Amino acid sequence: MVRFYKDLMLPEYKSRIDYLFWLLIFFLTDTGGIITSLGLNIRIANLFSFVGVFVVFLLASNGKGFRIVLRDTLFKKLLTILFFWFVFYYILWFLVFNDDYSVISLKSRLIKSRFYYLNWLLCIPTYYFILHRGTVLFLKLFLKLSTLITILLLITQFLGINIISINTFSRGYVDVDRVSMAGSDFLQLGLYLFATLLIIPAYYYSQFRKLLIFGTISVLLIYVLSLTRRYYFYMILSFILGELLSRYLFNKTILAKGKFLVIGFFGFLILSLSLPRYTEAIQKGVMSAFASDKNTYGTTKKRMELSGQIATVKLFQDNFLLGTGYMNEWYSTNEDNVKTEYGIEGADYIFLSTTAMYGVLGLVLFLPFYYLFYKTLFKTLKRIKRQKHIIMNNKSLVAPFIIFISLSLFFLTHLLSYPNWFHFIGPAAGTKELFIYVGIMFGVMTRLNSLISINQIHEENVK
């Protein structure tokens, strides 16, 4: 029993190779717009960092990374679902049979559709590093980089010193410019880390307290300046889910965290005094996110309805079972405002566009991914509730527990935000970050369950 306990130990590595891996992940996701700011070619930079991630993965695992990863039966099932879905839709259907909506060659379609089959591969090395190399380094790097990026953003925006690449443009529903920063998708984890601070006891994360507070507030500032209504909605929904999780795991309400409410109040007060126009914009943004009628910029109701975009609905009606297959227009950025043939848009209508692209059969075949993922998530939550005393009395579980709760809030928010359903396979930005989150989530769930088992064995040996 003692030997088995030692064999199962999961240390926290902080070597150069670990730093290199996570920095490559941040570079790959263009976190903070580093690729744009350096003026690099986005495609070449992505290829370099993608290859670099897998080279480091193989070096860290002595070339045994794939074999080690496939030992996890559940994760192996997840990868199998993703692989066979890809084979069916991107090989048998999109690339062989369906030519109605694409005039480009088979080779060109395979290259252009790389977003799916390359992105889902990213969950493999992230799973390995979280499970076998540790969670502390990732958590600390994420929080430190979030703080640094926010400082650089504020300097660029308000002092006029161009350090990082940002775009400012009218938000429409308010008389305040939106500040958009490239590579902010991966940082949204910080929004859910903030909600996590309201769930778990303050003494529990004392070793990360300052980093967590500064890091999460930094991410909040990034999304405040972006004036993006859907993120306001996600934040509110994450607090509601946080309340439910807090009651489920700890039998406490997040409202009991009076200190954070006071900090939030004074934070909003400071924001109101220093940036009064943004405070007003946030209030209008939150209200319009829940409005069901037209506002001065776009239509919230239109984006929430499944019939919101007529052109996409028509494509779905004409291709109900198998979808349109690959269409170059789904991935067109249309930067020159050229009127496209079908007039479709994937970014703001993710579920609707995914339905039209893959048809009912494509979505049904992808449902096992959702089932396996959320089944594992809920089973882990249930075990944590049962073994709470182990979680709360072991420092090795602090970082993975914080990451797990944060990503649970993220993925549960995704599940309850139906316009984002099937974003994993949808023709919209952010799928790369989603699959990296999937790898981190499966790695942290396996790590948590393993560490709980280790500590149970240790308790038995002590007795």
> In the chain, where are the structural domains located?
2-462
Cβ atoms within 10 Å of 294's Cβ, excluding its own: 12
141 pLDDT more than 60: yes
Q: How many helices and strands (H and E) does the chain possess?
A: 21, 2
389 pLDDT more than 60: yes
Task: For residue 119, give the H/E element and its range.
Answer: helix 114-119
Give the DSSP per-residue string, 268-313. HHHHHHH-HHHHHHHHHHHHHHS--SB-SSSBHHHHHSTTS-HHHH
CA 424 – CA 116 distance, rounded (Å)? 8
The model's pTM is 0.86
Mean pLDDT of 340-351: 62
Is residue 218 within 8 Å of 149, Cβ to Cβ?
yes
Backbone φ and ψ of 376, nearest 5°: -65, -40
Query: In the chain, pLDDT over 70 holds for what percent of residues?
Result: 72
Q: Where are the strands (E) in 118-239, listed by range?
A: 166-170, 177-181
Q: Which residue has the higher pLDDT, 231 or 77?
A: 77
CA 343 – CA 329 distance, rounded (Å)? 9
CA 296 – CA 21 distance, rounded (Å)? 45
What DSSP state is assigned to residue 294?
A: B
pLDDT tens per residue, range 262-296: 555 555 555 554 555 555 555 555 555 555 444 44
Q: Which residue has the higher pLDDT, 228 or 8?
A: 228
Confidence of residue 7 (pLDDT cuts 50, 70, 90): very low
Is residue 185 within 8 Å of 231, Cβ to Cβ?
no
Is residue 212 within 8 Å of 193, Cβ to Cβ?
yes
Confidence of residue 21 (pLDDT cuts 50, 70, 90): very high
CA 123 – CA 436 distance, rounded (Å)? 5
Q: What is the pLDDT of residue 339?
A: 44
Confidence of residue 308 (pLDDT cuts 50, 70, 90): low
Looking at every residue in the chain, the average pLDDT score rounds to 78
Confidence of residue 55 (pLDDT cuts 50, 70, 90): very high
436 pLDDT more than 90: yes
CA 19 – CA 13 distance, rounded (Å)? 10
Q: What is the pLDDT of residue 1?
A: 30
Q: Would you put residue 450 in left (φ > 0), alpha (ψ -120 to 50) or beta?
A: alpha
